[in-house]
Every structure is written in structure tokens, then in C-alpha cells.
Amino acid sequence: MSRRTIRPWVFLIALAPAMPALAVSADKIAGRASVIDGDTIEIAGERIRFDGIDAPESRQTCADGKGAPYRCGRAAAEALDAFLARSRPTTCVITGKSWDRWVGICQRADGRDVNRFLVLQGLAIAWPKYSKGRYAREQQDAERARRGLWSGRFERPCLVRRAACD
């Protein structure tokens, strides 16, 4: 029985058609995004948390304008998924790393800023410690219009995670 050696590059060429489109450089990741939760996506196995914002946790419950409970974390993730689906691919400019994932500012193919959209719709809150005021105006607009989280009561996501908020 003869032994054949398979060269690694042959294997990669064979797999190329099955691999999702992904562009990775030192400062950007682009491709089709899958939603993990309201402030985290995954592009070809790379997790990216949105810089400067904090969305409700997947398990988090909030109260709507009438005081009725609803799964605000799930609502944020579903709204994010629908928003991203309208214009693909997603491109994230990487601003850092936190634990096991990248941190970035992302936009859809049409140029709409994903982080900004989430805050403006009241699906996430600005996190001043990291945003340095970048989303303050959008949060004020969401609060005034009583959109999303601002329509009722909610606990800051960092408190739900039992993490430091400052």
C-alpha cells in the first residue's frame, strides 16, 4: 500500500468554496455577521463586541411603558439581526480586545453605523467609560422619544452581569 502525502495548500484550496467570505486585517474584520446577543456578533468564528455601548443581557427582562415585563435582551438581539440582514456584509473596525473577543465599531454595507443605531433605537445604552461621549446625543434622542429601553424601566446590563459599571 503506498502512502500519499497531501500538501496543506491543496487542502485549503479544496475547502475554499465552503469557507464564508471573510476579510481580516490588523484593524478590520468583514463578512456575514451572526448575532450572539444585542452587543456582540460573530463573523467567521471571530466574536466582536460593539465598542462604547452595552445592550441588555440575553436573559434580561425589562418593563415596558405599561409596566409589563418583556425580554429586552432578546428584543435587542432580534432587532440587531433584522438591521444587519438589510445590508450585508458587516465591517468592523477593531478598537481593542476584551477577554476572548474583539471590540469594534461596526457598519453595514450601506455605511450605517451599527453601534449608533442600537443606542438611537434604545436597544442599547451608551457606556461613557468606553464611548467617551460618542453616543451621548443618540442616547438623549432615544430617552426623549422613549424608544426601546427608555419606554419603561430597566436595569443597566453591567449590573445584571454583576460587573463594574464604571
Convert the pLDDT of each residue in 65-124 to its tens digit. 999 999 999 999 999 999 999 999 999 999 999 988 999 999 999 999 999 999 999 999
The pLDDT value recorded for residue 162 is 87
Measured CA to CA, the distance from residue 41 to residue 92 in angstroms comes to: 10
Q: Which residue has the higher pLDDT, 105 or 14?
A: 105
CB atoms within 10 A of CB 115: 23
Quick check: 7 pLDDT over 60? Answer: no
Could you tell me the CA-to-CA distances from 147 to 40, 52, 55, 120, 130 in Å, in that order?
A: 21, 19, 14, 8, 22
Measured CA to CA, the distance from residue 91 to residue 118 in angstroms comes to: 16
Q: Which long-range contacts (CB under 8 A, 24 or more apart) does 78-83 make?
A: 79/38, 79/118, 79/121, 79/123, 80/35, 80/38, 80/41, 80/55, 80/114, 80/118, 80/123, 81/35, 83/108, 83/112, 83/114, 83/117
